[in-house]
Structure 1
Amino acid sequence: MAFHGGFCETILFDTWRISSLGGLIGSMIGIMIMATLYEGLKYYREYLFWKSYNALQYRSVSLPNDRNVVAEDNTVV
């Protein structure tokens, strides 16, 4: 792969060929749109992970009332 100043090239795939300056500019715009969609999907995935992580609620344990105290018998079974 090398950088050079031509516009009769293959872009990403063998079927994506350009032969004009308009095709080059259109390909640049297409690649920018694909990159934006990719970054948007990455952001959305992180948002879903964050949303599911924050949905986890840790339930605190309340102390028992005086009438709910368990008697300790220390019996061996």
Structure 2
Amino acid sequence: MTDMSHAHHDHHMEGTMSPPITDPHGDHVTHPDSGGGSHVMMMQMTFFFGYKNVELLFAGLLINTPGEMVGACIGVFLLAMFYEGLKISREILLRRNQVNVRYNSMPIPGSDGTVLMETHKTVGQRMLSLSHLLQTVLHIIQVVVSYFLMLVFMTYNGYLCIAVAAGAGFGYFLFSWKKAVVVDITEHCH
């Protein structure tokens, strides 16, 4: 190929295919297509702190300003708090709607030759009941919210990851003290 034909070939390629575009933070490389859109080729796979071109859960939800990032962090924080509150609320609701409570006692030999009785509480719930239906709906919501939080964390954006962790921690702090803790006094390994 001569220099002249090589130059013509480069010019032809330049007119039909645009070069790849990399954003300033390096979290996406896009290739414009002939229809005016673009195709995302790579996504960020390391933690970064930035607020430009950060997609959050949905294609149309794009963060580009510091204010949008602050708003997104507040929303993610509240979602993580809600998730923790939902988990504790489901446990409380389950305890309130327990039926078929049975106590089973089992003899356990003591260290001095005496016999101790260990009691276990077994509870059940009716499958065809309003409380079980409510638990099922709340479980679905809990699973969906947990996946949303996981996907937010998988953006690898440091601000959003901190918001998930802080929201979960604050939610646990606010709601977990209501959680009943069962301590087995016969347990010897602490």
Q: Higher strand share goes to which structure?
A: 2
**Cα separation, 1, equivalents of 2:51 and 2:101:** 56
TM-score, normalising length: structure 2: 0.27
TM-score, normalising length: structure 1: 0.62
Q: Which has the higher contact order (CA 8 A, sep 6+)?
A: 2
Deviation at 1:5, TM superposition (A): 2.3
State the structure with more CA Rg: 1
Structure 1: stretches of 5+ with no match in the other structure: 59-77
**Cα separation, 1, equivalents of 2:101 and 2:49:** 57
1:44 aligns with 2:110: no
1:26 aligns with 2:71: yes
Structure 2: stretches of 5+ with no match in the other structure: 1-44, 103-190
The runs of at least 4 aligned residues of structure 1 exceeding 4 Å deviation read: 55-58
**Cα separation, 1, equivalents of 2:97 and 2:72:** 37
Q: Identify the residue that residue 7 of structure 1 maps to in structure 2.
A: 51
CA change 1:26–1:57 in 2 (3 A) is: same
Deviation at 1:24, TM superposition (A): 0.6
Q: Counterparts of 1:46-61 in structure 2 under 5 Å?
A: 46-53=91-98, 56=100
How many aligned positions are there?
Answer: 57
The SS at the match of 2:47 is: coil
**Cα separation, 2, equivalents of 1:7 and 1:57:** 53
